[in-house]
Amino acid sequence: MPKNRIYLCLAHMSDAGLEQKYIQEAFDTNWVVPLGPNVNGFEKDLEAFVNEIAGHLIPRMRNRNDASLDKRVVALSAGTAAVHLALIACGVGPGDEVIVQSFTFCASSHPITYLGATPVFVDSEKDSWNIDPELMEAAIKDRIAKTGKKPKAIVPVALYGMPYDIDRIMEIANKYDIPVVEDAAEGFGSRWKGQVLGTFGEYGVLSFNGNKMITTSGGGALICPNPEAWQKIMWLATQAREAYPYYQHEAIGYNYRMSNICAGIGRGQMTIVNDHINHHKHVQKMYEELLAGVPGIHVHSQPCSLYDRHAGLDPASHEIAGQARNDAMQGEKYDSNYWLCTITIDPSVRIKGQENAYKTVVQGAVGGAAGVVHASESAHTDCEPNANVEALRVILDQAGVEARPLWKPMHKQPVYKDAPAYVNGVSESLFKVGMCLPSGPYVSDDDVHYIVDCIKESIL
């Protein structure tokens, strides 16, 4: 039994304690407000990070002649606020429709409803678990045929940090002239062909919740395409105040700016962001290796690129010649941060206590109450994880390990029962067999060995 409970993903403070330094400066200078030097500094740090492109991948990036990026970033109170403001900037309003990935957390879709618009849910592809581009295009065509107008925006999601096929998504979006709002809340630091997620579409959403790659305790940011868009988002996020010596409002704004205290935490976190990403990738590799021989348990990993198939050789190496070298370079697309490590469990796998799964109603939310005050009358819904998945979750919980089911697809959520949905069965089937395992900076190698041992010992 571990000394402390092992959580899915908890943020880790920098060894130098820079977070405390910046927070103390905020108190010392009396900048305890939703603005200030830390906010400005954090935004600049974020801009430097998202505009960075892996050098050896620049020449083929999206067929651009100029591979440099010059995105601007606005620090906000939450990733949900970033989605909301991006949709407003894209002109979404009452009566509109927005294409959104179904396999995601509700923060991707709820802001659509805030605006009186309707989410149109699109299912996932099997390999990445993210939005299926071909099904997405079919949905766009069908919505145009049925409503006489195209969707106002497209919201793909980097599920558990995994990159989506942004090349194909952007190709389709440009074909129909629909702006893309990348929900990279879980994918901070994930890349596609060397470019940071959130920088391909019109806007990119980041999250710094306490369980994300880096944290500001709570908060988010919006990546903007240019200074004009940045200025509009900044204005909307500060109550849309006009330039008068008194409060003049000519449009509805929002109190969405990040506090100087939270931004101070973020500035310290940015000094160790690459360490966090590397740690998550290390933990993912350990799970892959330790669970490789366990029948019926499968660790989800990024789709294999042609580069991977050439024995891990550098694509620039002369050891890969001719067409093989070209294939290797073109194949390197996915670079997941592995925010959460996930597994699937075959229905045939028998788990100890499986016969008792769902016999009692959960008291509070899985992983903690988290503000949940509604009691459930039944332990079952019409779409739930299999009994062996629930049994394994209970065993791990009793062993001091936090594990959770995958996100329940939005098109199966009661609140969205009347929303249009274009499904292929992928997300529902994954939800029934999938589970998230701890991967955060506090998860040690010994913890991973302990978690894997618990999984092995639970199988009958």
> 318 and 267 in one domain?
no
Look up residue 276 and give its two tokens. Answer: 């966090």
| Pair (233, 363) in one structural domain | no
Q: Is residue 5 part of a domain?
A: no
Tell me the pLDDT tens digit for each residue of 293-308.
999 999 999 997 544 4
**pLDDT recorded at residue 319:** 46
Check whether 309 has a pLDDT greater than 50: no
Domain co-membership, 306 together with 185? no
Better-predicted residue by pLDDT, 379 or 225: 225
Q: What is the pLDDT of residues 100-150, one digit of tens each?
A: 999 999 999 999 999 999 999 999 999 999 999 999 999 999 999 999 999
Does 174 or 6 have the greater pLDDT score?
Answer: 174
Q: Judge whether residue 310 has pLDDT over 70.
A: no
- Give yes or no: residues 170 and 81 share one domain: yes
Count of domains observed in the chain: 2
The residue that leads in pLDDT, 434 or 5, is 434
226 with 311, same domain: the answer is no
Domain final position from 252, 273, 294: 273
Using CA atoms, how far apart are residues 137 and 55, in angstroms rounded to an integer? 32
Last residue of a domain, one of 273, 301, 326: 273
Q: Say which CATH number the domain at 125 has.
A: 3.40.640.10
Q: Which domain covers residue 375, as residue numbers?
A: 274-458
Q: 418: domain CATH number?
A: 3.90.1150.10
400 lies in the same domain as 354: yes
Q: Are residues 27 and 175 in the same domain?
A: yes
Q: How far apart are the C-alpha atoms of 387 and 404, rounded to whole Å?
A: 14
pLDDT in tens, 32-85: 767 788 999 999 999 999 999 865 444 444 444 445 799 999 999 999 999 999
Residue 9 included in any domain: no
Q: Mark whether 301 and 448 lie in a shared domain.
A: yes
13 assigned to some structural domain: no
Same domain, 66 and 210: yes
- Region 313-342: mean pLDDT is 62
Res. 424: pLDDT tops 70: yes
Question: Among 245, 273, 301, where does a domain finish?
Answer: 273
Residues 257, 295 within the same domain: no
What digits encode the pLDDT tens for the residues 174-190? Answer: 999 999 999 999 999 99
Which residue has better confidence, 88 or 312?
Answer: 88
Q: Does 110 fall in a domain?
A: yes
Which token pair is 10? 């908890």
On whether residue 8 sits in a domain, the answer given is no
Asked if residue 297 is part of any domain, the answer here is yes
Q: Judge if 333 and 250 occupy the same domain.
A: no
Mean pLDDT of the chain: 88
Do 291 and 267 have their domain in common?
no
Q: Is residue 267 part of a domain?
A: yes
